[in-house]
């Protein structure tokens, strides 16, 4: 499932415990993302899934589930 792969990538990149990642939790707050981190997030998503995220993609992203749904939509994966 794409959500599992996303979690693996996030754990590795942002050095968090996999248990802190829950679909209903806030992505930015949970990973403690600042503006400098988002460029890393965009890079790792592009390198792992081949899709390019733009600023507008994040406009409606609050939770991890939102992020999974965005990438499911962009990649066509489940």
Closer residue to another protein (CB): 52 or 73: 52
Please count the residues of this chain forming the interface with another protein, following the rule CB under 8 A: 10
Is residue 12 near another protein by the rule CB under 8 A?
no
Nearest approach in angstroms of CB 4 to another protein is: 25
Q: Which of 19, 24, 32, 35 binds another protein (CB under 8 A)?
A: 35
Per-residue CA distances from 33 to 1, 28, 41, 61, 68 (Å): 24, 5, 9, 13, 17
What's the count of helices (H) and strands (E) in the chain, helices before strands? Answer: 4, 0
Q: How far apart are CA 45 and CA 71, in angstroms?
A: 9
Residues within window 39-58 making contact with another protein, judged by CB under 8 A: 39-40, 42-43, 46, 53, 55
């Amino acid at each position: 499932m794409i959500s599992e792969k996303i979690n693996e990538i996030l754990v590795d990149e942002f050095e968090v415990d996999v248990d802190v990642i829950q679909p209903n939790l806030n992505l930015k707050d949970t990973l403690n993302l600042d503006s400098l981190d988002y460029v890393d997030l965009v890079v790792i998503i592009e390198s792992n899934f081949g899709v390019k995220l733009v600023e507008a993609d994040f406009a409606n992203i609050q939770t991890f589930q939102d992020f999974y749904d965005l990438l499911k939509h962009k990649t066509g994966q489940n």
